[in-house]
Amino acid sequence: MSAAALQRLRLPLIAAPMLRVSGPALVTAACRAGVVGAFPTANARTVDELDQWLTQMRESLQDAEQPGPVCPNLIIRQPRLQDDLACLVRHRVEMVITSVGSPAAVVGPLHDVGCTVFADVASVGHAEKALRAGADGLVLLSAGAGGQTGWANGMAFARAVRQFFDGPLVMAGGISDGHALWAARALGCDLGYMGTKFIATEESMADARHKAMVVSSRLDDVMRTRAFTGLDASMLRPSIEAAGLDPDQLDETVTFDEARTRFGGGTSDDKPKRWRDIWSAGHSVSGVTGIHDVAGLVAATQAEYEAARRRTADLQ
Residues 215 and 190 occupy one common structural domain: no
Residues 155 and 180 occupy one common structural domain: yes
Residues 104 and 232 occupy one common structural domain: no
The pLDDT value given to residue 274: 67
Residues 112 and 218 occupy one common structural domain: no
Residues 96 and 183 occupy one common structural domain: yes
Low-confidence ranges of the chain (pLDDT < 50): 264
What pTM value is reported for the model? Answer: 0.93
Strand, coil or helix: 148: strand
The pLDDT value given to residue 315: 78
Give the CATH number for residue 141. 3.20.20.70
Q: Is residue 213 part of a domain?
A: yes
- Degrees, nearest 5: CA angle 141-206-213: 85
Q: In this structure, are residues 94 and 118 in contact, taking their beta carbons and an 8 Å threshold?
A: no
Number of domains the chain contains: 2
The pLDDT value given to residue 44: 98
Question: CA-to-CA distance for 88 and 85, rounded, in angstroms?
Answer: 5
- Degrees, nearest 5: CA angle 59-203-227: 115
Pairing verdict, β 233-236 and 222-225: antiparallel
The pLDDT value given to residue 183: 97
The pLDDT value given to residue 130: 98
CA distances, 209 to each of 20, 115, 245, 297 (Å) = 13, 36, 18, 20
The pLDDT value given to residue 246: 86
- Those residues whose C-beta lies under 8 Å from the C-beta of residue 307, and which sit 6 or more positions away, are 178, 179
CA distances, 68 to each of 20, 37, 267 (Å) = 22, 7, 42
